[in-house]
Amino acid sequence: MKQQPRQGRITTLPYFQVDGGKLLAAGMGLSHEALGIYCLLQALYWENDCVLLQTDKLVRKLGLRGKTKLALLYEVLDEFFPEGKHAALDACMEQAMKLSRKQSERAAKGHAKRRTEAQPAPYEYEEDSEDAEDDNSPSNTNSGDDMDDDCPDF
């Protein structure tokens, strides 16, 4: 089954940076399951444009079954997502959006520059002036006498 692209997604980067040291330091004292839930919550939070899903949707997406797993989820949410926000991921998203805007501006400038350089300049016709000599006058005909003197005559 082919997956349809998400509509309305604002992020441009498909990833967020993870500092392994910070992740392990934050996870000190957590069980392996709680640390796994935390990592998955970060991914879901990022994929949902830094908006935390409703708890029932989180439970379903994480595949949590049982009261102990649900208690772990609430523990992780209380510790790492106070008020439904994750400060580090929000900062990462802001940086990603700034970078994206900067790259878009650069690309637009480069495109405009390449577009103007690629278009040939319009041919400019010399306007006939009253002083201009007749096209058949001797000065306008190339008889070969006006060639450089260092060219050999054949």
Q: Does some domain include residue 29?
A: yes
Q: How many domains does the chain have?
A: 1
Q: Does some domain include residue 111?
A: no
Token pair in block for residue 80: 């790492």
Q: What is the pTM of this model?
A: 0.60
**Count of all residues that appear for the chain in the document:** 154
Please report the pLDDT score of residue 135 as a whole number: 53
Q: Does some domain include residue 49?
A: yes
Q: Does some domain include residue 52?
A: yes
* Residue pair 91/3 in contact by the 8 Å Cβ criterion: no
Burial class of residue 100 (count of CB atoms within 10 Å of its CB; 0-12, 13-18, 19+): middle
Q: Does some domain include residue 28?
A: yes
Q: Does some domain include residue 13?
A: no
Q: Does some domain include residue 134?
A: no
| Cα–Cα dist 86/46, whole Å | 10
Residue 72 has pLDDT above 90, yes or no: yes
The domain containing residue 29 runs over which residues?
Answer: 20-85
| Cα–Cα dist 75/34, whole Å | 8
